[in-house]
Structure 1
Amino acid sequence: MTRKTPRVLIARPMPPAVMARAETLFDVENRDNNAPMSGSEMRSALALYDGIMPTLGDRFTADIFAEFGRPRCKMLANFGVGYNHIDVAAARDHGVTVSNTPGAVTDATADIAMTLLLMSARRTAEGERLVRSGNWAGWHPTQMLGLHVSGKTVGIIGMGRIGQAIAQRCHFGFGMQVLYANRSHKEVDFPARQVSLTDLAEHSDIVVVAVPGGAETRHMIGSTFFNTMQDHAHFINIARGDVVDEAALIDALQAGRIGGAGLDVYEFEPEVPQALTRLDNVTLLPHLGTAALEVRTAMGMLALDNLQAFFDGETPPNAV
């Protein structure tokens, strides 16, 4: 008996190569909308499809699963490494497997961390705004003096794949000393010292957050941390917005208690407070961490690998 082709919903428009492959594997419906799925859309999708490729913003909470015993959908192949928008325990309780796309995002996200690190320390976004405004009066010896990053100390919060990739770039590219705060010790091929979160805040010239999102890390960085940082130090977040108490960060920036910040993520994304957008000592990016065609294509292919393995009766390579 011929197996029925699984019916799969892809929750966002994808790179062409991803869609082309998906259509050879499954009976695909592509949701032609970049807004997060609504509650009714998610409930309908669980009832109508065998698999779903959701992504950031598609909040598959326990409430979404609550009206199902065992939904038709058996697989959520998340497009992205972070999956704190999916209640994995609730999914499991309802017979739904969840996977993600680690590996493909590591270098691209580390590169954005370095972009923000340099932009914040050297005040490049502020300088670009000055040139565009027409108010630049020309070079002078004390113009827009920033922080020279070579040889400084970087503190990495979260020493997983992405944290290690950032640390490598800082050490080998800029000769920086590496401190890190992590639940476990990490063996790496360069000098790196594990310290407490407090020691990291106190001794780092630049702090980079690279921990997963979720209940365990929500608001792990707040006023106490910012008050402990050196007043010239810069704070970079490429993790998840709610890891940081955004109000505490705004307060620290407004008061000049830290040197600056570079953000690719926000606590209530895509909402960015006017208090942040009005500040010159913060660099703001629109969640560009993995925004390269090759990377987004690779992420889509990993998600399809997970779906294909599941429907072939195998364990998805990136099940969570």
Structure 2
Amino acid sequence: MEICRRADSVVLALPLTAETQGIVDAEFLKQMRPQAYLINTARGSLVDEAAIADALEAGTIAGYAADVFEFEDWARVERPRSIEARLITSPKTVLSPHLGSAVTYIRRQITESAADSIIKVLAGGLPDTVINRSYLKGR
């Protein structure tokens, strides 16, 4: 993959699908530059965390940052049950919780939106945030 061979940083911004699960594996990492950094703020299961730990230990990549982890993807029955231990102890990683919405005003907006949706459904309507509105109207 050309981007891996040229980039100093690769930032994952993909949904988790059957095609993207494990897209960053040992082969992907071998194509990266040794001074490159991999950043995952999308979905944990886009990466093979053990392969990343191997690449960090081998010096194949310079570092890894993530706020999402494989064990968090509950739809995967075979998901790991914890973060790869070598990522936690590596001096080449920056790991943080996925807390982008963890501020008071955002949490208040989420709560108000949920309450508005409940009120609309109880009144026989549809929430503003329904994603399959056209399908539901056709029924």
Q: TM-score range by the shorter chain?
A: 0.7 to 0.9
The answer to whether structure 1 residue 294 and structure 2 residue 105 are counterparts is yes
Q: Displacement of 1:203 after TM fit?
A: 2.1
TM normalised by structure 1 equals 0.35
Indicate the residue corresponding to 1:230 in structure 2. Answer: 33
Indicate the residue corresponding to 1:318 in structure 2. Answer: 129
Q: How does 1:109-258 map to 2 (within 5 A)?
A: 198-258=1-61
- Superposed CA deviations along residues 167-217 of structure 1, whole A, max 9, x for unmatched, are xxxxxxxxxxxxxxxxxxxxxxxxxxxxxxx22222221111122234343
What is the one-letter code of the residue matched to 2:90?
A: L
| Larger Cα-atom Rg | 1
List alignment gaps of at least 5 residues for structure 1: 1-197
* Percentage of matched positions with identical amino acids: 37
What is the one-letter code of the residue matched to 2:129?
A: N
Q: Secondary structure at the match of 2:130?
A: coil
Matched residue count: 123
Q: Displacement of 1:319 after TM fit?
A: 2.2
List alignment gaps of at least 5 residues for structure 2: 73-80, 132-139
Measure, in 2, the Cα distance between the counterparts of 1:219 and 1:294: 35
In structure 2, the CA distance between the partners of 1:218 and 1:288, relative to structure 1 (3 Å rule), is: same
In structure 2, the CA distance between the partners of 1:224 and 1:301, relative to structure 1 (3 Å rule), is: farther
Q: RMSD across aligned C-alpha pairs, in angstroms?
A: 2.0
1:279 to 64, 74, 90: 90
Q: How does 1:67-146 map to 2 (within 5 A)?
A: none
What is the one-letter code of the residue matched to 1:307?
A: I
- Superposed CA deviations along residues 61-115 of structure 1, whole A, max 9, x for unmatched, are xxxxxxxxxxxxxxxxxxxxxxxxxxxxxxxxxxxxxxxxxxxxxxxxxxxxxxx
Measure, in 2, the Cα distance between the counterparts of 1:202 and 1:315: 48
1:307 to 112, 118, 123: 118
Measure, in 1, the Cα distance between the counterparts of 2:57 and 2:48: 14
Q: Secondary structure at the match of 1:207?
A: strand
Contact in 1 for aligned 2:49/2:84 (Cα 8 Å): no
In structure 2, the CA distance between the partners of 1:232 and 1:215, relative to structure 1 (3 Å rule), is: same
The answer to whether structure 1 residue 259 and structure 2 residue 56 are counterparts is no
What is the one-letter code of the residue matched to 1:213?
A: L
TM normalised by structure 2 equals 0.76
Contact in 2 for aligned 1:306/1:319 (Cα 8 Å): no
Q: Secondary structure at the match of 2:39?
A: strand
Measure, in 1, the Cα distance between the counterparts of 2:66 and 2:27: 19
Contact in 2 for aligned 1:237/1:265 (Cα 8 Å): yes
In structure 2, the CA distance between the partners of 1:301 and 1:213, relative to structure 1 (3 Å rule), is: farther
What is the one-letter code of the residue matched to 2:67?
A: D
Q: Secondary structure at the match of 1:229?
A: coil
Contact in 2 for aligned 1:264/1:289 (Cα 8 Å): no
What is the one-letter code of the residue matched to 1:295?
A: I
